[in-house]
């Protein structure tokens, strides 16, 4: 008997498959490496506490300055050289200042309060999202539902061109043009602020939200549209009462991914938000975002310094947040969409 389906072993084939598989693992490896190396540089901030805690004690004791405490210092301290070096060092533990209200990394008593940065990021993100989400979703509805096919063929690529604008160009436009125009319209005090930055970052998010929403809308089965139109509903009613509800999970995923883009946007934040870390609820005040803080300060810090570690800590937070957003958009929303259709078909 001759067996026809017996495969001949070929070394080149075997090797190719192994190599291709190994290379494909690179993407996973890179994500893991990013995790490890960004977190590794952030970690020392929590270990540093012990050392600085000693110096805090000696500082307090010496400031009361009686003979007894000097003796106590001599006895308690392991080596005096270390102590004398630490006299000028911060009176606060670096990690304890993380939750304070001031971000003053470069001073005699550096404070790494993250609240103003969180608040600033939140403010800008909210403004950007409130601007970008409605306009891009409505534009996507027009493109998918109302536009004639020939017009759609033009609109889609033109709006997607915006995705090709480098963020530094959008930032430059915001800094040079939008800031002045918006200030003339609204008449607020500081030229660069959360509002200008938010609108500019919204511009960066529009193509993402628009494209993904459009995809979600066109993915709805044609039979839905035909059934609705056949029952006598207008195109508007079909769009808003049939297509839109069915596409909600996809649109949510689009907004979430747009949010991720806004949250991590660095160059626009650096150029258009004014970069002042303060706690204020006024949308027309200058703000400093988390990502802009890394971008502005990393170049000037000492390698391995507390400030350096805190910036990596901010990076870790950004990474965790965008990672979680992506996982949410990927697993939760997509699964919801899939399940919905599988049960209806």
Partner 1 sequence: MNRNIKDTIVEGITGICVLMIIFIIVSILVITIIGGWPNLNWAFLSEFPREGMTKGGIFPAIVGTAIMTIIMAVAAVPFGVITAIYLAEYANEKSVIAKTIRFAVKTLAVVPSIIFGLFGLGFFIGFVGKNLDSLLSGGELRWAQPNILWASLTMALLTLPVVIVSVEEAIRTIPRDMREASLALGATKWQTIRKVVLPGSLSGILTGTILAVSRGAGEVAPILFTGAVYFSSHLPHSLSDQFMSLGYHIYIMSTQSSNVDATQPIQFATTLVLLLLTFSLNAVAVVLRYRIRKRAK
Applying CB under 8 A, which of residues 205, 212, 220, 257 lies at the interface with partner 1? 257
Nearer to partner 1, 70 or 138 (CB): 138
Q: Does 218 bind partner 1 (CB under 8 A)?
A: no
Q: Which of residues 8-27 bind partner 1 (CB under 8 A)?
A: 10, 12-13, 16-17, 19-21, 23-27
What does the CA dihedral 196, 199, 204, 205 come to, rounded to 10 degrees?
150
Q: Which of residues 42-81 bind partner 1 (CB under 8 A)?
A: none
Instruction: Candidates 97-105, 118-126, 163-171, 241-249: pick the segment binding partner 1 (CB under 8 A).
Output: 163-171
Q: Does 160 bind partner 1 (CB under 8 A)?
A: yes
Q: Does 241 bind partner 1 (CB under 8 A)?
A: no
Applying CB under 8 A, which of residues 82, 234, 241, 335 lies at the interface with partner 1? 234
- Residue given tokens 């403004």 in the structure block: 127
Give the C-alpha separation, 174 to 179, whole Å: 6
Q: Does 139 bind partner 1 (CB under 8 A)?
A: yes
Give the C-alpha separation, 83 to 64, whole Å: 16
Give the C-alpha separation, 251 to 245, whole Å: 10
Nearer to partner 1, 119 or 192 (CB): 192
Three-state DSSP state, 189: coil
Binding mask 262-301 for partner 1 (x = CB under 8 A): -xxxxx--xx-------------------x--xx--xx--
Q: Does 318 bind partner 1 (CB under 8 A)?
A: yes
The DSSP code sequence of 231-271 is: TT--HHHIIIIIIHHHHHHHHHHHHHHHHHHHHH--HHHHH
Q: Does 303 bind partner 1 (CB under 8 A)?
A: yes
Nearer to partner 1, 103 or 263 (CB): 263
CA 186 to chain centre: 28
Q: Does 37 bind partner 1 (CB under 8 A)?
A: yes
Q: Does 31 bind partner 1 (CB under 8 A)?
A: yes
Looking at the chain, the number of H-run helices and the number of E-run strands are: 18, 2
Q: Does 124 bind partner 1 (CB under 8 A)?
A: no
> 24: buried, middle or exposed (CB in 10 Å: 19+, 13-18, 0-12)?
exposed
Q: Does 330 bind partner 1 (CB under 8 A)?
A: yes
Give the C-alpha separation, 217 to 240, whole Å: 11
């Amino acid at each position: 008997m001759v067996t026809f389906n017996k495969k001949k072993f070929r070394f080149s084939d075997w090797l190719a498959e192994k190599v291709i598989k190994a290379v494909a693992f690179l993407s996973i490896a890179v994500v893991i490496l990013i995790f490890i190396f960004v977190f590794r540089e952030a970690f020392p901030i929590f270990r540093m506490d012990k050392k600085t805690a000693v110096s805090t004690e000696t500082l307090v004791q010496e400031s009361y300055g009686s003979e007894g405490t000097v003796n106590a210092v001599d006895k308690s301290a392991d080596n005096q050289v270390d102590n004398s070096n630490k006299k000028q060092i911060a009176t606060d533990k670096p990690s304890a200042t993380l939750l304070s209200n001031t971000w003053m990394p470069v001073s005699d008593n550096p404070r790494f309060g993250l609240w103003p940065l969180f608040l600033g990021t939140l403010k800008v993100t909210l403004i950007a999202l409130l601007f970008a989400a409605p306009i891009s979703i409505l534009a996507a509805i027009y493109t998918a539902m109302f536009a004639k096919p020939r017009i759609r063929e033009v609109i889609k690529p033109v709006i997607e061109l915006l995705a090709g604008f480098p963020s530094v160009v959008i930032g430059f436009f915001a800094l040079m043009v939008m800031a002045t125009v918006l200030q003339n319209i609204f008449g607020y005090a500081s030229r660069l602020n959360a509002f200008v930055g938010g609108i500019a970052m919204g511009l960066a998010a529009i193509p993402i939200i628009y494209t993904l929403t459009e995809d979600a809308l066109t993915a709805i089965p044609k039979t839905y549209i035909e059934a609705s139109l056949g029952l006598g509903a207008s195109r508007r009613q079909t769009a808003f009462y049939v297509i839109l509800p069915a596409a909600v999970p996809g649109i949510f995923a689009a907004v979430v991914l747009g949010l991720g883009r806004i949250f991590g946007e660095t160059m626009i934040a650096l150029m258009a938000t004014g970069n002042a870390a303060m706690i204020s609820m006024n949308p027309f005040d200058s703000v400093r975002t988390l990502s802009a803080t890394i971008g502005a300060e990393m170049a000037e810090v000492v390698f391995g310094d507390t400030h350096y570690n805190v910036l990596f800590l901010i990076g870790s937070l950004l990474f965790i947040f965008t990672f979680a957003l992506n996982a949410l958009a990927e697993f939760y929303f997509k699964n919801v969409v899939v399940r919905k259709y599988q049960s209806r078909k």
